[in-house]
Structure 1
Amino acid sequence: MTLTRDASALLVIDMQNGFLDPKGSMAAIGMPTDQLQPSIEGTQRLIEAARAAGVPVIFTRYQYMAGYADGGILPNELVPAMRDADALLAGSWDADVADAVAPLDGEVIIDKARPSSFYGTQLEPVLTGLGVRNLVLCGVTTNICVETTARDAGQRDYRVHVVADACAEFEQARHDHALNTIGFTFGWVNTVDEVVQAWRP
């Protein structure tokens, strides 16, 4: 599928202090946040290219209410550890988008409490209002929030492009597996260079 600026948006998924910063909550509970650092440079380049081309940039934040009333039930040991670390609490530094990729005034931020950027959020009405049918995805983590969003977008008949070198995962094998799955069924896998070239004014 050919990349285009027309009817397109860049979706920057969960590039937050809690995931990316060594002082963030994911590092505090023992996750290898250094593995997510490679996503930053590629995401910066995509944001710069989108703004220069007039492509809307939309950010998501994975965050929870105080007390984790909206936390749900996940079948692993991460949930109690996250609660103990006050991870990704709404309004906290931990939940904020990292300064390296921070939104500009007026850019849309979608808050969510599940991996999909569509579930329980205003993302789809925003995309409809902007006339978007082509979504370029970057961010963290590839195998969870990026892949889940790509699946949901593909099933809504958006043309989905996931930028491999602007995403990252805690484990390389899961990063590779997610990209293979997305490219097989739900969208197209691209590089930062390909998107920048396609969006060049």
Structure 2
Amino acid sequence: MNPNDTALLLIGFQNDYYAPDGILNGVVEASAKASNTVVNTIKLIEQLVETPVLIISAPIFFTEGYEELVDPVGILNTIKEVGAFQASGKGSQTIEELSPFQDKILEVPGKRGLNAFVNTNLATTLQQRGIRNLVLAGAVTSICIDSTGRSAYEQGYNVIVLSDCISARTIFEQEFYVENIFPLYAKTLESVELLGQLDLGSCTQPS
């Protein structure tokens, strides 16, 4: 796999999901701990940050009154009801563990729903950078990861979902999607397997 046409897309690595006091931490807590999601993702970024692999984040956030949401249902309605991911609040901020890499991660703003391609310039960014392989990490496995992954596949990208860098609502859901859903349109790998498949031999590695 060529690092020059590969991007790592980070979805939902925000305090409301992953901080201990996050409003929606309970949604992904068990799965995140079982998969060691944050630790594995940070280790992966440490290996990729000085390589040609493009690292992108697609955070979700809303105004205080959630004017962006019109008759929301499901998880978006829950977000509005509990007051999660408000742009002016701590909950929408990127988790502290990613702060050392802040200047190395390209943020794609505008995500308001499940699919990171909708209402953002993600597609344009990937096209301009000549990306062919899109690697997904983050939350929630059955919602934003799946929705974004399917969209990427339909647009012609080679989709890779990192099984140890994503978090679901339950451990069962995590295992079910990794084993039965993602293989329908994507390759599922652990982060160390991804590193093994990337041709990083000629790339500068962090000390």
Give the match for residue 29 of structure 2. Answer: 33
Structure 1 residue 108, shift from structure 2 partner: 1.4
Which consecutive unaligned segments of at least 5 residues does structure 1 have?
none
Give the match for residue 52 of structure 2. Answer: 54
1:122 aligns with 2:121: yes
CA contact (8 A) 1:118 1:152 kept: yes
Structure 1 residue 32, shift from structure 2 partner: 5.3
Q: Deviation string for 1:71-94 (max 9, x for gaps)?
A: 243434872x53353210113211
CA contact (8 A) 2:8 2:55 kept: yes
Structure 1 residue 47, shift from structure 2 partner: 1.2
* Partner SS state of residue 24, structure 1: coil
Percent identical among aligned pairs is: 23
Give the match for residue 163 of structure 2. Answer: 164
Pairwise mapping of residues 73-92 of structure 1 onto structure 2 (< 5 A)? 73-76=71-74, 79=77, 81-92=78-89
Runs of 4+ in 1 over 4 A off after TM superposition: none
**CA distance in structure 1 between the aligned counterparts of 2:14 and 2:104, rounded to whole angstroms:** 18
* Partner SS state of residue 137, structure 1: strand
Give the match for residue 4 of structure 1. Answer: 2
**CA distance in structure 2 between the aligned counterparts of 1:75 and 1:115, rounded to whole angstroms:** 12
Give the match for residue 204 of structure 2. Answer: none
Pairwise mapping of residues 109-188 of structure 1 onto structure 2 (< 5 A)? 109-111=107-109, 112-179=111-178, 180-184=180-184, 186-188=185-187
Which consecutive unaligned segments of at least 5 residues does structure 2 have?
202-207
State the AA in 2 paired with 1:88.
Answer: F
**CA distance in structure 2 between the aligned counterparts of 1:106 and 1:39, rounded to whole angstroms:** 20
Q: Deviation string for 1:28-51 (max 9, x for gaps)?
A: xx5353432421011112212221
User: What is the aligned residue count?
Assistant: 195
**TM-score (normalizing by structure 2):** 0.85
Q: CA RMSD in A?
A: 2.0
* Partner SS state of residue 22, structure 1: coil
CA separation of 1:32 and 1:167: change in aligned 2, threshold 3 A: closer
CA contact (8 A) 2:59 2:108 kept: yes
CA contact (8 A) 2:30 2:171 kept: no
Of 68, 71, 81, the residue aligned with 2:69 is 71
